[in-house]
Amino acid sequence: MQRTKVKDLLQGAEVDKEVLLKGWVRTKRGNKFVNFIAVNDGSTINNLQVVAEAEKFNEETLKDVTTGAAIAVTGKLVASQGKGQAYEVQATSIEVLGKADPETYPLQKKAHSLEFLREIAHLRFRTNTFGAVFRVRNTLSFAVHKFFNEKGFVYMHTPIITASDAEGAGEMFRVTTLDLDNLPRTEEGQINFEEDFFGRSTNLTVSGQMEGEVAAMAFSDIYTFGPTFRAENSNTTRHLAEFWMIEPEMAFYDLKMNADLAEEFIKYIIRYALENNREDLEFLAQRQAEEDKSKPQNERQEMTLIEKLESVVNNDFERITYTEAIDILLNSNHYKKKKFQYDVKWGIDLQSEHERYLVEKHFKKPVIVTDYPKDIKAFYMRMNDDGKTVAAMDILAPGIGEIVGGSQREERMDILVERMKSVGIEPEAMWWFLDTRRFGGCPHAGFGLGFERVVQFVTGMGNIRDVIPFPRTPQNAEF
């Protein structure tokens, strides 16, 4: 007999038939005549209720049916008389496949803190919250691929181990097979990386952008979706040492087309989650609402999670230039009352408090800020005609800050080389990157989106460590 998943059973797939159900016990309650066993198999946030009449079963078997145990149940799927579920299974047989000793199994009925669950990240998938979070993450991942596939983008697996560190996006992790207890040295006494695995010094990638640009000069439209790394000692709720990024690169795109694509993309994947994970998102919305109750009034969400997501999907993002953003900040009561901690003037890198003001107080929706001062942006961003700003764009989202950073790329060889030199990058070391400008270059653009930031935004989880299966942060590489 073939097993049917809980998700299908709850939709009445096999009603009034004998079914085989397999999953893990969430709760067992009842009396000496009948047991009600809630079984979850991860296919949905909802449990299926198994009704087991005590007289039909061995007492020993029922004793082993405890929270966390894996069981197989056969029985008839029937419309439920009880409240809270449409269908239930009247068990005719129960097999305990794996016990979970109630004395030692860490996930008992009571609610556990997110901090505690992080310590047992290998078991937290079995809770309602993390079940929902990772089903939503799965849906968003699929939506990413579906979106780009429908548009004819080519998915590129750009390299993880790299010898280039040209972007200078942050501190890097060294990758080596050298014996640290016996490092090879050159005649001058330097470590001899020629003897390392790749014959040179290598790191973990901070971005696949440059390899992506190269590929876009052949396929027109490409995207990456892979892990990237920052060896920064940041212990915040928004930083990970290992995280997943999505980086599309498009030949023949200017900044406006880039922003249009990013907006369409974000709306698409959120809409896809709303359509495919409604129950998970409703649970997470309720979780967030509960969490809010313990917060001071001014830190609470103004909208429910679902309202927030629907608002993003149904409204145009605001689009302003950096210069306009500075003007808005300077003209705000917030500024006049000296409520910003950091000063505001043209040329500053927008601080989190500035971004939040723009997004959460002023516009109350996602904002695309474009045309930043060249001195605070990367060398590869296209110089605007004013000579002061570059064709950059950041997308800022309520409650989360920057989720997209992108730009039109500098396609003009002479300007690009000059910019590289001005930030201390040897053009020769990037010969292959420059070849894209040397041979058949063209206007092009792209952006990067931190996937975990998006998952945070969609699930309402406050800590980025709670939206990646096994977070990697300073001092933590468990599991």
Does residue number 152 form part of the binding site for a copy of itself (CB under 8 A)?
Answer: yes
Interface with a copy of itself (CB under 8 A), residue from 73, 94, 132, 134: 134
The bridge status of strand 221-229 relative to strand 154-155 is parallel
Interface with a copy of itself (CB under 8 A), residue from 34, 54, 79, 161: 161
Q: How far is the CB of 21 from a copy of itself (least distance, A)?
A: 10
Does residue number 192 form part of the binding site for a copy of itself (CB under 8 A)?
Answer: no
Do 96 and 67 touch, CB atoms closer than 8 A?
A: no
- Of 57 and 142, which CB lies nearer to a copy of itself in the complex structure? 142
Interface with a copy of itself (CB under 8 A), residue from 16, 53, 101, 275: 101
Interface with a copy of itself (CB under 8 A), residue from 411, 425, 449, 460: 411
Report phi then psi at 80, rounded to 5: -85, 140
Does residue number 79 form part of the binding site for a copy of itself (CB under 8 A)?
Answer: no
Does residue number 162 form part of the binding site for a copy of itself (CB under 8 A)?
Answer: yes
Sign of CA dihedral 423, 427, 430, 436: positive
Q: Is 371 exposed, middle or buried (0-12, 13-18, 19+ CB in 10 A)?
A: buried
**Binding residues among 41-60 for a copy of itself as defined by CB under 8 A:** 41-43
Interface with a copy of itself (CB under 8 A), residue from 9, 49, 68, 317: 68
Checking 45-48 for CB contacts under 8 A at 24+ apart, the result is 45/128, 45/131, 45/132, 45/135, 45/279, 45/280, 45/283, 46/6, 46/7, 46/10, 46/85, 46/279, 47/6, 48/6, 48/9, 48/10, 48/21, 48/23, 48/85, 48/87, 48/88, 48/89
DSSP 382: P
- Of 117 and 329, which CB lies nearer to a copy of itself in the complex structure? 117
Does residue number 23 form part of the binding site for a copy of itself (CB under 8 A)?
Answer: yes
Does residue number 131 form part of the binding site for a copy of itself (CB under 8 A)?
Answer: yes
- Of 257 and 303, which CB lies nearer to a copy of itself in the complex structure? 257
- Of 225 and 379, which CB lies nearer to a copy of itself in the complex structure? 225
66 three-class SS: coil
187 three-class SS: coil
Does residue number 385 form part of the binding site for a copy of itself (CB under 8 A)?
Answer: no
Amino acid at 180: L
Do 269 and 277 touch, CB atoms closer than 8 A?
A: no
Does residue number 91 form part of the binding site for a copy of itself (CB under 8 A)?
Answer: no
**Binding residues among 206-265 for a copy of itself as defined by CB under 8 A:** 211, 214-215, 217-221, 226-227, 229, 231, 233, 241-242, 244, 251-252
